[in-house]
Amino acid sequence: MRSRAIAGIAAAASVVAAALPAQAGTPPRKVVGIYDNYYLPDELKVKPDTVVVWKWPNDAGDVHDVKLKDKPKGVKRFWSDPASVGYKFKRKLTVPGKYHIVCTLHEDMVMDITVRKPRR
């Protein structure tokens, strides 16, 4: 009896969750293209918790990588593998502030991402 009541509560809770806007389950997502030798776009402003996906081209190109060089305090650095084709690298950016991304193989290949402060 008791366990049935708990199951009922769980079912009701999942209905409520389903009715909420996408926010809960699907974080916003931005795609950055990787080209020879630039990121496109090379400047992004995103909401906190946006997943940024760097997408390499499907046809052969030069080798590039994605390295987080400057970052807000407390954020862990990240550095993708070097790749030339058909590769993806993604990171969820949570902490507001400025993220400076570089390709370690091409010193002019840089981009900036600003994560906005959360709205209240």
- Contact residues toward Cu ion (CB under 5 A) are 37, 64, 103, 105-106, 109
- If the CB atoms of residues 109 and 115 are measured against Cu ion, the closer one turns out to be 109
Of 44 and 115, the one with the shorter C-beta distance to Cu ion is 44
7 or 105, CB closer to Cu ion? 105
DSSP per position, 17-42: HHHS-GGGT---EEEEEEETTEEESS
Distance CA 7, CA 52 (A): 37
Token pair, residue 112, equals 């900036």
Minimum distance, C-beta of residue 109 to Cu ion, in the bound complex (Å): 4
